[in-house]
A = this chain, B = another copy of it.
Amino acid sequence: MSVEPNSQDRAIKRITSPGNTQVKAIRALHQKKHRESEGRFLAEGLRILAEAIDQGHAIETLVVLPEMRDHRVGARLVAHTLDNGGSVLEVSEPVLAKIARKDNPQGAVGVLPQRWERLETVDATGDRCWAVLEGIRDPGNLGTILRTLDAVGGAGAILLDQCCDPYSIEGVRASMGSLFCQRLVHTDFQTFQAWRARQGGMLVGTSLKATRDYQQVTYPRPTFVFMGNEQSGLPAEYEAGCDELVLIPMRGRADSLNVSIAASVMLYEVLNQDRRRSGGQE
Protein backbone atom coordinates (compact mmCIF):
# COMPACT_ATOMS: atom_id res chain seq x y z
CA MET A 1 0.00 0.00 0.00
CA SER A 2 1.48 3.32 -1.00
CA VAL A 3 0.78 6.22 1.28
CA GLU A 4 0.17 9.49 -0.49
CA PRO A 5 0.88 12.66 1.44
CA ASN A 6 -2.43 14.41 2.05
CA SER A 7 -3.03 18.04 1.27
CA GLN A 8 -2.34 19.04 4.88
CA ASP A 9 1.14 17.52 4.69
CA ARG A 10 1.90 19.56 1.62
CA ALA A 11 0.68 22.77 3.27
CA ILE A 12 2.67 22.36 6.47
CA LYS A 13 6.16 23.73 6.58
CA ARG A 14 8.79 22.10 8.77
CA ILE A 15 11.35 24.29 10.51
CA THR A 16 14.25 22.87 12.47
CA SER A 17 16.47 25.90 12.98
CA PRO A 18 15.77 28.39 15.76
CA GLY A 19 17.65 30.92 13.59
CA ASN A 20 15.04 30.69 10.84
CA THR A 21 13.83 34.11 9.66
CA GLN A 22 10.16 33.28 10.18
CA VAL A 23 10.90 32.04 13.71
CA LYS A 24 12.72 35.28 14.40
CA ALA A 25 9.81 37.36 13.12
CA ILE A 26 7.41 35.43 15.35
CA ARG A 27 9.66 35.81 18.38
CA ALA A 28 9.81 39.56 17.80
CA LEU A 29 6.13 39.65 18.84
CA HIS A 30 7.26 39.28 22.44
CA GLN A 31 8.14 42.95 22.17
CA LYS A 32 5.37 45.49 22.48
CA LYS A 33 6.71 47.73 19.72
CA HIS A 34 6.63 44.83 17.25
CA ARG A 35 3.16 43.79 18.38
CA GLU A 36 2.01 47.36 17.82
CA SER A 37 3.63 47.84 14.42
CA GLU A 38 2.46 44.39 13.24
CA GLY A 39 -0.97 44.52 14.90
CA ARG A 40 -0.45 40.90 15.84
CA PHE A 41 0.21 38.91 19.00
CA LEU A 42 1.15 35.50 20.35
CA ALA A 43 -1.09 33.06 22.19
CA GLU A 44 0.27 29.87 23.69
CA GLY A 45 -1.35 26.55 24.44
CA LEU A 46 -4.02 24.36 22.87
CA ARG A 47 -6.73 25.41 25.29
CA ILE A 48 -6.28 29.13 24.73
CA LEU A 49 -5.96 28.73 20.96
CA ALA A 50 -9.11 26.59 20.85
CA GLU A 51 -10.89 29.36 22.76
CA ALA A 52 -9.64 31.80 20.12
CA ILE A 53 -11.13 29.92 17.17
CA ASP A 54 -14.34 29.20 19.11
CA GLN A 55 -14.67 32.96 19.55
CA GLY A 56 -14.30 33.59 15.83
CA HIS A 57 -10.63 34.55 15.76
CA ALA A 58 -8.46 33.11 12.99
CA ILE A 59 -4.90 31.94 13.57
CA GLU A 60 -2.60 33.43 10.93
CA THR A 61 0.37 31.25 11.77
CA LEU A 62 0.15 28.16 13.94
CA VAL A 63 3.43 26.78 15.27
CA VAL A 64 3.05 23.21 16.54
CA LEU A 65 5.00 20.21 17.69
CA PRO A 66 4.65 17.27 15.23
CA GLU A 67 2.79 15.10 17.77
CA MET A 68 0.11 17.77 18.21
CA ARG A 69 -1.34 16.82 14.81
CA ASP A 70 -2.46 13.54 16.38
CA HIS A 71 -4.00 15.36 19.32
CA ARG A 72 -7.74 16.04 19.04
CA VAL A 73 -7.48 19.78 19.75
CA GLY A 74 -4.15 20.09 17.93
CA ALA A 75 -5.60 18.53 14.76
CA ARG A 76 -8.59 20.88 14.99
CA LEU A 77 -6.31 23.91 15.26
CA VAL A 78 -4.24 22.77 12.26
CA ALA A 79 -7.34 22.17 10.13
CA HIS A 80 -8.95 25.47 11.16
CA THR A 81 -5.78 27.44 10.44
CA LEU A 82 -5.35 25.92 6.97
CA ASP A 83 -9.06 26.24 6.13
CA ASN A 84 -8.87 29.94 6.94
CA GLY A 85 -5.85 30.60 4.79
CA GLY A 86 -3.32 30.59 7.61
CA SER A 87 -0.02 28.78 7.64
CA VAL A 88 1.18 25.97 9.87
CA LEU A 89 4.78 25.51 10.97
CA GLU A 90 5.88 22.22 12.44
CA VAL A 91 8.83 22.66 14.78
CA SER A 92 10.85 20.73 17.35
CA GLU A 93 10.35 21.33 21.07
CA PRO A 94 13.52 23.44 21.42
CA VAL A 95 12.32 25.74 18.63
CA LEU A 96 8.86 26.00 20.18
CA ALA A 97 10.41 26.71 23.58
CA LYS A 98 12.41 29.48 21.94
CA ILE A 99 9.26 30.93 20.38
CA ALA A 100 7.21 30.65 23.58
CA ARG A 101 10.19 31.88 25.60
CA LYS A 102 9.66 29.21 28.21
CA ASP A 103 10.64 25.65 28.96
CA ASN A 104 7.97 23.05 28.34
CA PRO A 105 5.84 25.11 25.97
CA GLN A 106 2.29 23.86 25.76
CA GLY A 107 2.34 22.20 22.34
CA ALA A 108 1.42 25.16 20.17
CA VAL A 109 1.82 28.88 19.73
CA GLY A 110 -0.36 30.94 17.41
CA VAL A 111 0.08 34.31 15.78
CA LEU A 112 -3.20 36.20 15.64
CA PRO A 113 -4.30 39.69 14.59
CA GLN A 114 -5.11 42.05 17.45
CA ARG A 115 -8.67 43.35 17.70
CA TRP A 116 -9.23 46.82 19.03
CA GLU A 117 -12.52 48.65 18.83
CA ARG A 118 -12.94 52.35 18.34
CA LEU A 119 -14.77 53.84 21.32
CA GLU A 120 -17.06 55.91 19.05
CA THR A 121 -18.56 52.73 17.63
CA VAL A 122 -19.21 51.11 21.01
CA ASP A 123 -22.74 51.19 22.45
CA ALA A 124 -22.51 50.16 26.10
CA THR A 125 -26.12 50.88 27.10
CA GLY A 126 -27.63 47.72 28.52
CA ASP A 127 -24.27 46.10 29.24
CA ARG A 128 -23.83 44.89 32.79
CA CYS A 129 -20.34 46.24 33.24
CA TRP A 130 -17.03 47.26 31.79
CA ALA A 131 -13.62 47.60 33.39
CA VAL A 132 -11.84 50.91 32.89
CA LEU A 133 -8.15 50.50 33.57
CA GLU A 134 -5.50 53.13 34.05
CA GLY A 135 -1.79 52.53 34.48
CA ILE A 136 -1.95 48.79 35.19
CA ARG A 137 1.66 47.59 35.00
CA ASP A 138 1.48 43.83 35.34
CA PRO A 139 0.08 41.95 32.33
CA GLY A 140 -0.80 39.05 34.66
CA ASN A 141 -3.10 41.40 36.60
CA LEU A 142 -4.62 42.72 33.37
CA GLY A 143 -5.23 39.20 32.02
CA THR A 144 -6.74 38.10 35.34
CA ILE A 145 -9.10 41.11 35.30
CA LEU A 146 -10.25 40.14 31.78
CA ARG A 147 -10.87 36.59 32.98
CA THR A 148 -12.97 37.81 35.92
CA LEU A 149 -14.77 40.32 33.72
CA ASP A 150 -15.75 37.49 31.40
CA ALA A 151 -16.91 35.41 34.41
CA VAL A 152 -19.31 38.12 35.61
CA GLY A 153 -20.72 38.61 32.12
CA GLY A 154 -18.88 41.87 31.55
CA ALA A 155 -18.60 43.43 28.12
CA GLY A 156 -14.99 44.50 27.88
CA ALA A 157 -12.16 46.68 29.05
CA ILE A 158 -11.34 50.28 28.24
CA LEU A 159 -7.63 50.95 28.69
CA LEU A 160 -6.51 54.48 29.41
CA ASP A 161 -3.09 56.05 29.11
CA GLN A 162 -0.09 53.83 29.74
CA CYS A 163 -1.84 50.60 30.65
CA CYS A 164 0.22 47.49 29.91
CA ASP A 165 -0.55 45.47 26.81
CA PRO A 166 -3.34 42.88 27.09
CA TYR A 167 -1.78 41.21 24.05
CA SER A 168 1.52 40.35 25.74
CA ILE A 169 1.88 36.58 26.01
CA GLU A 170 1.65 36.80 29.83
CA GLY A 171 -1.55 38.80 29.58
CA VAL A 172 -3.12 36.36 27.13
CA ARG A 173 -2.06 33.47 29.36
CA ALA A 174 -3.51 35.02 32.53
CA SER A 175 -6.78 35.79 30.71
CA MET A 176 -7.10 32.06 29.95
CA GLY A 177 -8.64 33.00 26.62
CA SER A 178 -11.18 35.46 28.05
CA LEU A 179 -9.35 38.08 26.03
CA PHE A 180 -11.02 36.61 22.94
CA CYS A 181 -14.54 37.37 24.09
CA GLN A 182 -14.01 40.70 25.82
CA ARG A 183 -14.14 43.91 23.81
CA LEU A 184 -10.98 46.01 24.01
CA VAL A 185 -10.66 49.76 23.57
CA HIS A 186 -7.68 52.05 24.06
CA THR A 187 -8.34 55.72 24.55
CA ASP A 188 -7.66 58.69 26.83
CA PHE A 189 -9.68 59.81 29.83
CA GLN A 190 -11.14 62.89 28.18
CA THR A 191 -12.42 60.97 25.16
CA PHE A 192 -13.75 58.29 27.48
CA GLN A 193 -15.65 60.80 29.61
CA ALA A 194 -17.17 62.51 26.55
CA TRP A 195 -18.33 59.13 25.22
CA ARG A 196 -19.62 58.03 28.60
CA ALA A 197 -21.85 61.11 28.91
CA ARG A 198 -23.88 59.54 26.09
CA GLN A 199 -23.96 56.04 27.61
CA GLY A 200 -25.44 56.77 31.05
CA GLY A 201 -24.62 54.31 33.79
CA MET A 202 -22.05 54.90 36.50
CA LEU A 203 -18.30 55.29 36.71
CA VAL A 204 -17.17 53.92 40.07
CA GLY A 205 -13.64 53.98 41.41
CA THR A 206 -12.24 52.41 44.54
CA SER A 207 -10.21 54.60 46.85
CA LEU A 208 -8.68 54.29 50.28
CA LYS A 209 -9.87 57.87 50.83
CA ALA A 210 -13.52 57.04 50.08
CA THR A 211 -16.00 56.89 52.95
CA ARG A 212 -18.84 55.10 51.17
CA ASP A 213 -18.81 51.33 51.49
CA TYR A 214 -18.82 49.53 48.14
CA GLN A 215 -21.93 47.60 49.15
CA GLN A 216 -23.91 50.77 49.94
CA VAL A 217 -24.04 51.86 46.32
CA THR A 218 -26.58 50.61 43.77
CA TYR A 219 -24.82 49.79 40.55
CA PRO A 220 -26.84 50.42 37.37
CA ARG A 221 -26.28 49.11 33.87
CA PRO A 222 -23.75 49.84 32.57
CA THR A 223 -21.40 50.11 35.53
CA PHE A 224 -17.85 51.14 34.65
CA VAL A 225 -15.47 49.78 37.29
CA PHE A 226 -12.42 52.04 37.31
CA MET A 227 -9.13 50.59 38.58
CA GLY A 228 -5.75 52.29 38.72
CA ASN A 229 -2.09 51.51 39.02
CA GLU A 230 -0.91 48.72 41.35
CA GLN A 231 1.11 51.08 43.56
CA SER A 232 -0.58 54.44 43.27
CA GLY A 233 -4.22 53.67 42.45
CA LEU A 234 -6.22 56.25 40.50
CA PRO A 235 -4.80 59.74 39.94
CA ALA A 236 -6.71 62.40 41.91
CA GLU A 237 -8.14 64.06 38.78
CA TYR A 238 -9.55 60.71 37.62
CA GLU A 239 -11.05 60.08 41.05
CA ALA A 240 -12.69 63.49 40.75
CA GLY A 241 -14.28 62.38 37.47
CA CYS A 242 -15.99 59.35 39.04
CA ASP A 243 -19.72 59.28 39.82
CA GLU A 244 -18.95 57.32 42.97
CA LEU A 245 -15.81 56.61 44.95
CA VAL A 246 -16.17 53.60 47.17
CA LEU A 247 -14.20 51.85 49.85
CA ILE A 248 -13.60 48.13 49.94
CA PRO A 249 -13.40 47.38 53.68
CA MET A 250 -10.15 45.99 55.05
CA ARG A 251 -9.83 44.59 58.53
CA GLY A 252 -6.25 43.40 58.87
CA ARG A 253 -2.78 44.89 58.60
CA ALA A 254 -3.02 45.04 54.82
CA ASP A 255 -3.76 48.53 53.57
CA SER A 256 -4.46 47.53 50.00
CA LEU A 257 -5.51 44.65 47.81
CA ASN A 258 -3.93 43.30 44.66
CA VAL A 259 -5.59 45.25 41.82
CA SER A 260 -7.09 42.14 40.21
CA ILE A 261 -8.55 41.15 43.61
CA ALA A 262 -10.03 44.61 44.16
CA ALA A 263 -11.51 44.48 40.65
CA SER A 264 -13.07 41.08 41.35
CA VAL A 265 -14.63 42.25 44.62
CA MET A 266 -16.24 45.14 42.72
CA LEU A 267 -17.26 43.09 39.68
CA TYR A 268 -18.90 40.38 41.80
CA GLU A 269 -20.83 43.02 43.71
CA VAL A 270 -22.10 44.38 40.39
CA LEU A 271 -23.10 40.89 39.26
CA ASN A 272 -24.70 40.02 42.61
CA GLN A 273 -26.82 43.17 42.62
CA ASP A 274 -27.91 42.43 39.07
CA ARG A 275 -28.78 38.85 40.08
CA ARG A 276 -30.88 40.09 43.00
CA ARG A 277 -32.75 42.59 40.84
CA SER A 278 -33.64 39.97 38.30
CA GLY A 279 -34.37 37.24 40.85
CA GLY A 280 -31.50 35.19 39.48
CA GLN A 281 -33.02 35.22 35.98
CA GLU A 282 -30.56 37.54 34.34
Interface residues of A (CB under 8 A from B): 51, 55, 128, 140, 144, 147-154, 174, 176-178, 181, 215, 248-254, 256-258, 260-261, 264-265, 268, 271-272, 275, 282
Given A51-B253, A178-B252, A249-B271, answer yes or no on A258-B147 (Cβ-Cβ < 8 Å): yes
Copies in the complex: 2
State in angstroms the CA–CA spacing of A233 and B188 once bound together.
39
Please name all residues of chain B whose beta carbon is closer than 8 Å to the beta carbon of A149 when the two chains form the complex. Answer: 252
- A178 proximity list for chain B (CB < 8 A): 252-254
Residues of B within 8 A of A271 (CB): 249, 251
Please give, as numbers and ranges, the residues of chain B lying within 8 Å of A147 by CB-CB distance.
254, 257-258, 261
Q: Complex Cα distance A254/B264, Å?
A: 14
Shortest Cβ distance from A280 into B: residue: B213
Q: A140-B140, A261-B260, A264-B264 are in contact. Are A251 and B215 (CB under 8 A)?
A: no
* Sample of 4 further A-B pairs with CB below 8 A, known A51-B253, A144-B261, A251-B271: A151-B254, A154-B252, A249-B275, A261-B264
- Cross-chain pairs A/B with CB under 8 angstroms, 20 sampled: A128-B251, A144-B258, A147-B257, A147-B258, A147-B261, A148-B254, A150-B253, A151-B252, A152-B250, A152-B252, A153-B251, A154-B252, A174-B258, A178-B254, A248-B268, A257-B264, A260-B260, A261-B261, A261-B264, A265-B268
Residue of B nearest to A154 (CB): B252
Report the minimum CB–CB distance from A95 to chain B (whole Å): 26
The complex places the Cα of A128 from the Cα of B144 at a distance, in Å, of 27
Expressed in whole angstroms, the minimum distance between the Cβ of A266 and any Cβ of chain B is 10
